[in-house]
């Protein structure tokens, strides 16, 4: 019986050793699983941080692109306005010449009208608009009132006379119109 007992004890020891080994293996697997989960969590956090940085950078770039595009347009408008400011006295002279050439030779009037048309076409190409005509509503943001007059035909707050035409490019005023306003 001692041999059987010994074999039984050995088998018990083997089972216990196998169980201990299995428990140790399970503990190791659990430890490895926890490690893997921690690594996955760390990598996910790193990916989220990288995505956040990328999204912020993309938004920053988009804002920069829009800002520089607006600055380019603004620079173009400013340069155009500055150049046109130098041409406005010529446009005023041509307009006054047309108004005062009533009794002149028809060929001269025709020539001045052609020059006036060329100036208008040039201003259109540059997107320059003139404003301030008799009968328009008076707007202190666009017009400089240099006098008041009573006029029953036009009504109150209307432009009665234009002494200098106003010009603008888009919303930018190049020159305010000088007008006479009705009471």
User: What is the Cα–Cα distance from 8 to 15, expressed in whole angstroms?
Assistant: 10
Q: What is the pLDDT of residue 57?
A: 95
Q: What is the pLDDT of residue 8?
A: 63
pLDDT, tens digit, 9 for 90 and up, residues 81-90: 899 999 999 9
pLDDT, tens digit, 9 for 90 and up, residues 26-73: 777 777 788 888 999 999 999 999 999 999 999 999 999 999 998 988
User: What strands lie across the sheet with 143-149, from one edge to the other?
Assistant: 143-149, 177-182, 159-164
Residue 1 has pLDDT above 60, yes or no: no
Rounded to 5 degrees, φ, ψ at 106 are: -60, -30
Quick one: pLDDT band at residue 20, thresholds 50, 70, 90? low
Residues 145 and 180 sit within 8 Å (Cβ to Cβ): yes
Angle, helix 106-125 to helix 2-100, in steps of 10 degrees: 170
The answer to whether the predicted template modeling score (pTM) of the entire model surpasses 0.75 is: no
28-37, 55-64, 121-130, 141-150: least confident range:
28-37
- Other CB atoms within a 10 A radius of the CB of residue 128 amount to 21
Domains of the chain are 129-183 (2.30.22.10)
Q: What is the pLDDT of residue 183?
A: 83
Calculate Rg over the CA atoms of the chain: 44
Which of 141, 140, 129, 118 has the alpha carbon at shortest distance from 80? 129
**DSSP per-residue codes, 24-51:** HHHHHHHHHHHHHHHHHHHHHHHHHHHH
**DSSP per-residue codes, 54-73:** HHHHHHHHHHHHHHHHHHHH
């Amino acid at each position: 019986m001692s041999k059987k007992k010994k074999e039984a004890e050995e088998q018990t020891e083997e089972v216990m050793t196998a169980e201990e080994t299995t428990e140790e293996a399970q503990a190791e697997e659990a430890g490895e699983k926890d490690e893997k989960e921690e690594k996955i969590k760390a990598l996910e956090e790193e990916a989220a941080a990288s995505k956040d940085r990328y999204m912020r950078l993309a938004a920053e770039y988009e804002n920069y692109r829009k800002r520089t595009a607006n600055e380019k347009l603004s620079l173009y408008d400013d340069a155009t306005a500055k150049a046109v400011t130098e041409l406005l006295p010529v446009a005023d002279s041509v307009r006054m010449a047309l108004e005062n050439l009533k009794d002149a030779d028809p060929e001269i009037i025709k020539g001045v009208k052609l020059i006036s048309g060329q100036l208008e076409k040039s201003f259109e190409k540059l997107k320059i608009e003139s404003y301030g005509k008799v009968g328009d509503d008076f707007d202190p943001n666009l017009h400089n009132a240099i006098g008041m007059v009573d006029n029953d035909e036009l009504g109150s707050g209307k432009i009665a006379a234009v002494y200098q035409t106003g010009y603008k490019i888009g919303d930018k005023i190049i020159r305010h119109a000088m007008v006479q306003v009705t009471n």
